[in-house]
């Protein structure tokens, strides 16, 4: 690997999510947060993956028009349960309803990442889907969690990393944990490699150390032996 390939790129994150910024930090790349606003309304009968890809691409294109001298990263995460898309709840009551829709069942979390290289217009898309098994939490647990306010800024009304609630049966989950947080970091590394950039650090090791999750999919994503 050439030294130049490991130089820290100037990376613009077109999202205000602190969780995405924390995950990008695992790579060693420097990131500047520059959120953009797009209309996130769904198109009738639009599938979850299609919605995530469309919104991530729109965010990336908008950011590229404003910050074209840097790598642009945009992402969109969609929670889908039985064909229904669950966005961020607008109220505590809606958060409670979402959590009970998900309770004791599997659902899918799709995250699309969109990259634009400096001075370019082509958008490079990658998508990660994780099958997420939820535990059978009770009414009291849900009410206590909703009172914290944490569900209100999260698609589906929950955070896999919220240890005070632990909504996900992580020991039964396969797939990318970071994807459920909001950014499949190994997919990002794979996409950046296609644009000639390597991470500074060993991302799978750092991700597993931070999340405490024994990941079984990073070898396939990154094309390496575990």
Q: Would you please indicate which residues are annotated as catalytic (active-site) residues? A: 76
DSSP one-letter string for 152-163: GGSGGG--TT-T
Closest by CA to 137, choosing from 177, 174, 163, 99, is 99
Distance of CA 130 to the CA centre of its chain: 10
Q: Which residues contact 38 (CB under 8 A, 6 or more apart)?
A: 55, 58, 59, 62
Closest by CA to 187, choosing from 226, 220, 161, is 220
Report in angstroms the alpha-carbon separations of 107 from 25, 48, 73, 129.
Answer: 28, 11, 26, 10
Q: For residues 32 and 134, what is the distance between their CA atoms, to the nearest angstrom?
A: 34
């Amino acid at each position: 690997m050439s030294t130049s390939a490991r130089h820290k790129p100037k990376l613009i994150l077109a999202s205000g999510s602190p969780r995405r910024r924390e995950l990008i930090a695992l790579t060693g790349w420097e990131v500047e947060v520059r959120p953009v606003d797009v209309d996130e309304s769904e198109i009738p009968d639009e599938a979850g993956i299609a919605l995530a890809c469309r919104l991530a691409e729109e965010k990336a294109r908008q950011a590229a028009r404003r910050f074209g001298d840097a790598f642009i990263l945009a992402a969109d995460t969609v929670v889908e349960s039985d064909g229904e898309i669950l966005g961020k709840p607008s109220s505590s009551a809606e958060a409670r309803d979402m959590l009970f829709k998900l309770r004791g069942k599997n659902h899918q979390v799709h995250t699309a990442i969109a990259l634009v290289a400096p001075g370019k217009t082509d958008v490079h898309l990658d998508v990660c889907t994780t099958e997420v098994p939820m535990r059978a939490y009770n009414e009291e647990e849900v009410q206590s969690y909703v009172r914290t306010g944490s569900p209100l800024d999260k698609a589906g009304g929950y955070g896999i990393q919220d240890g005070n609630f632990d909504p996900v049966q992580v020991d039964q989950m396969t797939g990318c944990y970071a994807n459920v947080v909001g950014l499949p970091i190994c997919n990002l590394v794979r996409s950046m490699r296609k644009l000639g950039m390597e991470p500074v650090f060993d991302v799978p090791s750092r991700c597993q150390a931070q999340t405490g999750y024994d990941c079984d999919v990073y070898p396939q994503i990154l094309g390496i032996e575990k």
